[in-house]
Structure formats: C-alpha cells, structure tokens
C-alpha cells in the first residue's frame, strides 16, 4: 500500500511542493498447513503423565491459598485433568479427516452453502479462560459438497484447543480452502471472552467479531455483502 505524506513547510519562490512517499509492504500471514491438516499432538510426542498433571493441579490449589487436603478438594485434581481431556480434545483430532468425505450429487448447484449459528466454546490462550459464541461458515463448492455437520465438527476441533479468536477464524477458513478447494470461503465469528467480561475491565456482554474471506468472497464485495446479510438475517 502506498501512503503519500505531504510536507507542511511553505514552498518558497513558487517552488513545487515536495511529496515524500513511503511504501509499506502488507500481506496476510500464511498459516502453516500442519496447523489445520493434521492432529496437533503426535503419537510419539513426550507428555507428562496423568499423575504429574494432577500434581500440578495440587500446586495451583496451594498457590491460591487453598488446603488441598480438605474434603471438598480431595478429588479435584482428578476432575480437573479429566475436564482438560474433554476441553482440549481438539489437539488429538485431525481437521483434514473431518472434511475428507464429500458428495457429488448436487444437481449442478453453483451457489454458496451457508451454515449459520454454529455454537462453540473455546479457551483463551492468554489466560486459559473460556470464550464462547457462534461461527457462521459459507463456501462455494466446485462439483462436490461436504456434509453440513462436518463444518460444525471442524469448528469444534479448532475451538477445543488454546486459541485466540483471530487464529480460530483463520484456521477454519484455511482448512476448508485447502481441503475442499472451493471457489471461496467466508467465516464470521462472534464471541464473548470471559477474560474480558469477568476479570480485568469486566465488561460483561461485550462481543468480538472476526472474519476471514477467500476467493470469490474476498474478491467480490457483492458476494461478501450477501453472505453478511444472510448471517444477520431479519430480526437479528
């Protein structure tokens, strides 16, 4: 992008005003395909044992001033580790496999497919606190389509990892774009972050919106606007 910066020094003897130009290179960051094509945890990757994980929970309980030996906390380390296994199961799942099976009986359908209001819960990588909301995903297929539930499952895989909302949005779009090779992908995510609503500035109800567009949605403002109109819809 070229930015023109004009001098405010008055010109002398009718000399032409000088214009200083500065070129700033801007390009979207590229995602490593390994982020969205394979499971995040390798089978041979060394990891702490369950006992070590439970011991870490005991340390945190002591840190906040609790007595880990009181009755109500005796089983808490086990419960916390089991909750982590559920909340972060996306590390062990492969996004590409979810999109692997497609269907060709579309009767020549050539418009975009939109799945709206996909509810999700994820965990902020900065504070390990939940953020939750809805994802809206559209893609324009080329001959073959993927099962509608697979877009929701894809969202869950990425959401069940430590995330930022911006990264989550980019990963979903990149996976669909890379695996399905559609004419375009549109992803809009709206979410509330508890690291902002229950701590820090404590602004309950504040929503964050992020979007990513590829192909025809990026290059055609009319298609982008049609997607946004359908997402918002009447009475929303």
Which active-site residues does the annotation give?
A: 124-127, 165, 193, 195
Compute CA distances 234 → 88, 119, 136, 204, 229, whole Å. Answer: 35, 19, 16, 25, 9
Identify which of 189, 193, 149, 154 has the alpha carbon closest to the alpha carbon of residue 169. Answer: 189
On whether the CB atoms of residues 190 and 207 are closer than 8 A, the answer is: yes
On whether the CB atoms of residues 138 and 186 are closer than 8 A, the answer is: yes
Q: In whole angstroms, what separates CA 71 from the centre of its chain?
A: 39
User: What is residue 128's DSSP assignment?
Assistant: -
> Strand, coil or helix: what is 153?
helix
Kindly tell me the sign of the dihedral angle through the C-alpha atoms of 113, 118, 123, 124. positive
Task: Scan for tokens 């995602």, then name that residue.
Answer: 31
Cα separation, 212 vs 224, in Å, equals 10
Reduce the secondary structure of 29-60 to three states and give it as a string: CCCCCHHHHCCCCCCCCCCCCHHHHHHHHHHH
């Amino acid at each position: 992008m070229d930015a023109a910066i004009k001098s405010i020094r008055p010109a002398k003897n009718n000399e032409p005003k000088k214009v200083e130009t500065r070129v700033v290179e801007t390009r979207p960051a590229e995602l490593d395909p390994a982020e969205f094509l394979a499971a995040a945890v390798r089978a041979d990757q060394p990891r702490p044992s369950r006992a070590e994980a439970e011991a870490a929970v005991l340390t945190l309980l002591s840190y906040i001033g609790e007595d880990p030996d009181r009755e109500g906390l005796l089983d808490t380390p086990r419960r916390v580790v089991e909750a982590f296994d559920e909340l972060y199961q996306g590390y062990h799942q492969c996004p590409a496999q979810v999109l692997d099976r497609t269907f060709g009986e579309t009767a020549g359908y050539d418009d975009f497919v939109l799945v709206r209001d996909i509810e999700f819960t994820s965990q902020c990588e900065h504070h390990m606190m939940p953020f939750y909301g809805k994802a809206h995903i559209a893609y324009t297929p080329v001959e073959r389509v993927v099962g509608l539930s697979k877009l929701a499952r894809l969202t869950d895989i990425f959401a069940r990892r430590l995330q930022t909302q911006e990264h989550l949005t980019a990963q979903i779009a990149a996976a669909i774009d890379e695996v399905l090779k559609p004419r375009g992908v549109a992803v809009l995510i709206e979410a509330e972050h508890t690291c902002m609503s229950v701590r820090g500035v404590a602004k309950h109800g504040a929503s964050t919106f992020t979007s990513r567009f590829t192909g025809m949605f990026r290059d055609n403002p009319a298609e982008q606007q049609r997607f946004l109109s359908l997402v918002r819809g009447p009475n929303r």
